[in-house]
Structure formats: structure tokens, C-alpha cells
Structure 1
Amino acid sequence: MSTHRWITALAIICLGTVCAASRAEAQPVEKGALGVGIILGEPTGVSAKLYLADDTAIAAAAGFAFIEGGLHVHADYLWHPWVLEDAEHFVLPAYIGAGLRALNEDRGGGSSAFHMGLRGVAGMLFDFKEVPLDVFVEVAGLFDYAFTNDDGGIGFGINAALGARYYF
């Protein structure tokens, strides 16, 4: 076989492989129920989400609270009642939920406070169909109690964050 025919055959095989791979990548992927990633904002740290059904999930995050200062941990039960957009490459659902938050606030000068309370959360999720990845933005209202020797008591606040998770 001549060199020209070998090059032509190799080019056809490579082209066929590339076309098959691109067609396979264009197919929606079946993502797992557990997503792990990052969250940026209040708090900034790690985020996880476990789908219980198509429209319900438990989401949690742990990280540093920049505004209040200290370690922040929360967990929410989420419900995804509305799909704002269902395009070829992504789905854009909105979600609402409720959960708990704990914060170990460092007030400086050796003073600290432990906060425990409720979160009401609302957000949007950019859920890719072709890769097991989502990007989210959320806002949460807080109602908590600060346990401290100085000036503890009931407080209100807001958390806002964006993040991304990879699903296994």
C-alpha cells in the first residue's frame, strides 16, 4: 500500500473517531446524586448537595464567614418547584428551602460568640446537561441566637453566595 493511501486511511479513521467522540459528548450525561464543590461569598468554603428526588435535595456548606468572622456551617432542605429555562445544553431551576446554621464568631480580643439558628434560602441553579456540573447563586435570610457572656441574644442576618459542584 502506498504512503498516500496510508495517510488517507489514517485521516479517515481520525475523522471518524473525532466525529464519534463529539457526538458522544453532545449526549446528556447521567449525573450522580451527590455533588461536591466550592462556595464563594458568605460563607466561603466547600459545598455539597445530595438529591433525594428530582425536585428535592439536601445542601450543606462549611467555610469561613468573612463578615461575621469565624467558622460557618449550614444545611438546608431544598425544593426545586420551578424550571425557569430548559434549553438544549442546560436547565435553569429556581429553588427555595429551609435549614439550620451554626457560626463560631470570633469577635476579637479573645471574645467569641456561638450562633445557632434558622435559614430560609432561595436561589437559582445553572445545571449543565452535558457535564455533571452545576453553578448556583443563592440568598439566605437568617434568624439566630448568639450564645455569649457579653451581649448575646436574638439576631437577624443575610448570607449570599455563588458556587459550583461536580456530581459523582
Structure 2
Amino acid sequence: MKKFIFVLLVVLLSFSITYAGNFGVGVVIGEPTGLSFRLWQGKAQAFDFGLAWSLNANVLHLFADMVTHNYGIFKPSSGSMPFYYGVGVRILAADNTNFGIRIPLGVVYIPKGMNLDFFFELVPTLELVPQTSIDVDGAFGFRYYF
């Protein structure tokens, strides 16, 4: 598992060099709590990744989402604040490995002229393996863009 995490971090850091200005690294606080990564693919699309720890269930969360941003719902006086939604996958690594489909729903505030964003999200998840169940995660956080 340590080798996997090391390789994941090396790959993500290489993204920050390749996609200068489009790759964000930050912190997510809530359920789960850990690291948050976002790779923008234009103005409306992004890939979100996370490596986090569940304080309630004592398991490692690995997740990846493709999200779309709608800039027309919220209109702040400065910066932008799109609503985002998407689909992704989650792996819970513990004694048993769980796999599920995520549906992230959130709002991200992007201050004008800064390399930061701040976000809040709720993520319903349909667990498929080892059994079918529904879970909901919620968190807030921030990312710095390189």
C-alpha cells in the first residue's frame, strides 16, 4: 500500500508540472479528511482526485471524479462560484476493500486574481462491492493551483 501511495503522489506531482495553472492541491476536511487534487480540463470540466482518511470508519478513501461546472446559478460580486456535479469511483481500503460509484455535488468559490479555490460538497455513493448500500460523504476544503 505504501508503494501505491508513493506512486500516486509522484504521478499527481508530475501533473502539477505538466498542467501549470490547471492543477490544484489542497485539503478536504469532513468525512473523509485528507488531500484533494483537481485537474481542470477547460473552463467547465475537471478531474477531482482524493486520498483521505475516514475518521468514523477508520479506512483509507481513494476517489476520482469527473465534474462539470455550471457558472450560471451563483453570481458573486467578485470571482466566480460555479455549482458542480459529476460521477466517479471510490475505493475504501481496510480489512475488506469496498468499491462504489460517487455522485459529487458541490459549490466552488474561485477568487479573482488568486491561485486558490474553496469548496463545499455532498457526495452520495452507491457501494457495490462487497455489498450494495448507500453512503453520503460531506466535506469542505481548499486547493492551491500551480
TM-score (norm 2): 0.81
Q: Return 5+ residue gaps in structure 1 as ranges.
A: 1-30, 106-111, 148-152
- Distance in 2 of aligned mates of 1:155 and 1:66: 19
Q: Which residue of 2 aligns with 1:36?
A: 25
- CA offset at residue 88 of structure 1? 4.8
- Matching of residue 135 in structure 1 with residue 118 in structure 2: yes
- Pairing of 1:1-168 with structure 2 (within 5 A): 32-105=21-94, 112-147=95-130, 153-168=131-146
- Distance in 2 of aligned mates of 1:120 and 1:154: 16
Tell whether the 8 Å contact from 1:146 to 1:154 is kept in structure 2 after alignment: yes
- Distance in 1 of aligned mates of 2:35 and 2:138: 15
- Distance in 2 of aligned mates of 1:40 and 1:69: 15
Residue identity in the other structure for 1:154: T
- The 3 A distance-change label for structure 1 pair 99 and 139 is same
Residue identity in the other structure for 1:97: G
Which of structures 1 and 2 has the bigger CA Rg? 1
Q: Which residue of 2 aligns with 1:9?
A: none
Q: If each structure's strand is expressed as a fraction of its own residues, which one has the higher value? A: 1
- Distance in 2 of aligned mates of 1:78 and 1:98: 7
TM-score (norm 1): 0.71
CA RMSD of aligned residues (A): 1.5
SS at match of 1:67: coil
Question: How many residues were matched structurally?
Answer: 127
- Distance in 2 of aligned mates of 1:66 and 1:83: 35
Q: Return 5+ residue gaps in structure 2 as ranges.
A: 1-19
- Distance in 2 of aligned mates of 1:94 and 1:78: 10
Tell whether the 8 Å contact from 2:71 to 2:80 is kept in structure 1 after alignment: no
C-alpha offsets along residues 90-138 of structure 1, whole Å, 9 cap, x if unaligned? 2111000000000023xxxxxx221101001100001011211000000
Residue identity in the other structure for 1:158: V
Percent identity, please.
29
SS at match of 1:98: strand
